[in-house]
Chains A and B, each alone.
Chain A
Amino acid sequence: MLRARYLIPLVLFLVIGVFLAIGLTKDPSRVPSPLIGKPVPDFELPRLDADASRIGPDAMQGEVWLLNIWATWCVGCREEHHVLMEAASRDGVRILGLDYKDERGAALRWLAQRGDPYFASAFDPEGRVGIDLGVYGVPETYVIDAEGIIRHKTIGPVSMNDLKQEILPLVRRLQKGSDS
């Protein structure tokens, strides 16, 4: 009876320890998006490469696609660039870019020098569309299904691992779903 009482602090310690250990594995800078499972916010922005024509999610209707928010000032975008290149060229994933709070000249130079993984890039110098998408840490990458529903969001650079383990399998699964 007395012994059991002495075990209470140990049990409490273990419970708190487990919770804290779980907490340590989570990154507080990755805020879950409330937009997952919801339709992608509609927008129409000038194309980066042609100011007169406009581009938005409408152009991707009926396809499974990625929306990638990028900018030339963003260090993480450099890191993930080769991953996007591979996704586009080898895996044939369609990626719509959103050039966020950037300068057109610098952005066009970046694509010319490093390669352009995007089907097209929309140009959002003021970041208005960014706010509608809940963007707060560039780069961000959304997986959007054929119905225009956001299925997944990666905050921060997409690693080769993210692409192979998460994004590609999800894209393939969604593509199969829309075929049948």
Chain B
Amino acid sequence: MTAAWRAIIAGALAAAMTGPLIAGDSIREFDNAAEENRYRDLLGELRCLVCQNQSLESSDAELAQDLRNEVYRLVVVEDRSREEAIDFLTQRYGDFVLYRPPMQPSTWLLWFGPAILLALGGGVATMIVRQRTESRPLTAEEHKRARHLLDSDDHGPEAR
């Protein structure tokens, strides 16, 4: 075994040992990939209430660890559906735990507001652009002024 191989194996072992320690959780076991996906997917969708800009997946707060354990217990040990797990958490912590707020009258503005604003802004912008590009024949007075400007030797204010 060469020195290079030894270094690679030592590195891999070190990584394997520190991984679970960094995560601060016990090692999870899954029966199948679907179960694991459901678990991972849920963690990414749920907000940690302590550090509110992190999901349960990325947060290292103690509460996040506890809630990861709960989610694991619900979807893996008790084999409950994604909706049941979400219900469990919203009953206790409110809709705030969801990164994706539910569609209901109080959140309509949140869901549709950006589209409405975009439509309004687009409408205003088209109106302005149309107004500006609207062409009409010049009046006699304007024609005279334009002719005068084109004919003069004046090359703008700096020439004066």
Contact = CB atoms under 8 A, between A and B. Distances in A.
Contacts of B50: 136-137
Nearest to B91: A34
Interface centre among B50, B92, B94 (most CB of A within 10 A): B92
Nearest to B90: A34
Interface in A77-125: 101
Contact of A127 (B49, B66, B90): B66
Contacts of B67: 131
B92 A132 contact: yes
Interface in A24-58: 28-29, 31-35
B49 A31 contact: yes
A134 interface: yes
A133 interface: yes
Given A136-B49, A137-B50, A131 B92 contact: yes
B111 interface: no
Contact of A29 (B52, B63, B93, B95): B52
B62 A134 contact: no
A74 to B, nearest CB: 12
Interface of chain A: mostly helix, strand, loop or mixed: loop
Given A136-B49, A136-B50, A31 B66 contact: no
Interface in B90-119: 90-96
Nearest to A33: B94
B92 A34 contact: yes
B36 interface: no
B70 interface: yes
Contacts of B70: 131
Contacts of A133: 92
A134 B96 contact: no
A136 B94 contact: no
Contacts of A32: 94, 96
A136 B93 contact: yes
B70 to A, nearest CB: 6
Interface of A: 28-29, 31-35, 101, 127, 130-134, 136-137
Given A32-B96, A131-B70, A131-B92, 5 more contacts: A31-B96, A34-B93, A101-B62, A134-B93, A136-B93
13 contacts: A31-B94, A32-B94, A32-B96, A34-B90, A34-B91, A34-B94, A34-B95, A101-B62, A127-B66, A130-B66, A131-B67, A133-B92, A136-B93
Interface of B: 49-50, 52, 62-63, 66-67, 70, 90-96
